[in-house]
Structure 1
Amino acid sequence: MRKGMTAVALAAVMAVTAACGGGGGSEPGRTDITVNIVPFTPNAVLFLGMEKGMFDKRGITVELQNAASPVPVVASLVAGQADFGFVTTPVLINANREGTPIKCVAPVDGQISPDRDASALVAAAGSGIDSLDDLSGKSVAVVQLASINLIGAKKMIEDAGATGTEYIAMPFPQMPQALSDGRVDAAVITSPYLETALAAGAVALAHPSSDLFPTGTVYCYAATAQYLAGNAEVAQGFHDAMQEAILYAKDHEDEALATLVEHLDLTPEQAKAQIIPTNYVPEINLDSIAAIQDLMAQQGSIPTTVNPADLVWRPGGGSS
């Protein structure tokens, strides 16, 4: 099982010439930053902050890059090809454990809501699977084999008594068709691709992230410790802009969803139907990061642990 970026992979990306790395913006007093994201619904809060000028008024111009999963996002951060990037908590833990210091700078949309989730563990239509204990010997697609989706699904499936489940790495956009074709029996899939799968008859079995980590931090926008040490003011501006965007989105969720038309190529109807799985609390939940790491250790996916407090950058500089 892949448990994160290997030392070899990190050495390779370190050799890549930095493409941005926090240089000055194209105008005096401004900074251009690149944010590498995995395109999915919760990024609507970032898009909203961009559209409402919350970064602009702090002298920051945001350029977006897309990645298939969080592991290549880490590679882009290390290589200097992006300044901030979307990572899940397990990837954050693994990167630091393997000697790549990256830190959460801001939540993506807040803390995950216990009442609504944009991701689900679903079974393929016509598979005959209607409960977690039916997944013995079945195949389950997850976005990568070091993901919050894998850790949560494995916990819930094993607690239900299922054994011999196979986990297959697959990008989110490919999952609905893979379910329809019978190439996988189930998948942990997120919006907007979840809605496509459900419309095709997939059956929701559980919501691992919100079921296991209510009010938790399961993903964040992170940066390398090296970048943060040299660009503290930019990091402060990014943090503050995201905090403002999260609080604004709480009362203007319709505006946040509307940004998905441009940024995720959804129709207005599709965008309006999306779920942003947040309680809109703009703080990193450090206890949940510790709980996720404990679960990773219990599952045997990591041989060593790190101090969760070292994984979060705090305004004013430094870790928590």
Structure 2
Amino acid sequence: MIEKLSKYSGKEDSFEMFHQASLCTMEVILQCAFSGGEMSEQTKNEYVEAVKRIGILLVERNFNPLYVLFTAIYNLSPGGREFLRLCDFVHYTGGSIIKRRRQELERDPEILAEKKRLDFIDILLMARDEDGRGLTDLEIREEVDTFLFAGHDTTASTLSWALYSLAQHPHHQDKVREEVDQLLAGREEDTIQWEDLHKLPYLTMCLKEAMRLHSPVPFISRTVTEDTVIDGVHIPEGSYIGIHLYALHHNPDIWGDQHMEFDPNRFHPDRMKDMDSHAFIPFSAGQRNCIGQNFALNEEKVILARLLHKFTFDLDPARPVEKDMTVVMKTRDGMWMKVKSTGQTAD
């Protein structure tokens, strides 16, 4: 990603941040969870665009009661046919990763002995119950789809909106860069080590404030498992309810009248210690919270630190950003940015 963005450094040309971030986070999840599962650049681009379009189609369907109630009717509609075609492509892509890895393990069973720890895909393929039965291909593919889909799209949204806010507020961007530069001062390379992650407190505050302000996952849903009363309203068992995280993260009773302003100091430990644990839940909460939240946060810290060490980010004033609240917080016409090199040359 750094190599790609370097081509834009100091030039008038802008680039679309969401797409660049999505390609990067896709590569990260492939390397970290799928044993480096190979995927051509064309397939990556097609997969990223397919996921984006699926999110748009899902939201469109939810605003049509006829399509929500009658799946067969939706499947016959133009949007439904496109949705099914894109789902088939996403499923095929996940299935291809599984098939390729299974073949590699069959050719060389000793390949796992050489690894310090198993990747997610290897765990799924090797898992056995007490009777020696493994997961079916469908069960494995469902897990792969979840990790591949959620493991890149939400993270790319978070990275993009964090850089957006930092580009809007250069003094915060400079402060984060100063923190990163101090951390990496005197080193021969700018790799972020595991022990470095807790040494970036201001970057972390900015990252959390970006997740609050922009809510990369703006909406979650749950099925009520027992009769429940909330604020005097009876909600029967089996009800399907929506939780609007964007609204929660802009609750003026919690975040004040300036809740639309970017203020990383909201997440200073002294201010957070007395806050309700459910006032800020970018990864949901409870038993069904995000299984990958620690991985995602660490990934975002590393990528942001590396990028801000190398570049200064500015928004393209000719292409204003407008939010598009789908399954993941996106933009209507992209997020166009420009970069300048900071002069750091270590790699």
What TM-score, normalized to structure 2? 0.26
Greater per-residue helix proportion: 2
Q: Name the one with the larger strand percent.
A: 1
Larger radius of gyration: 2
Instruction: Give the TM-score normalised by the residue count of structure 1.
Output: 0.28
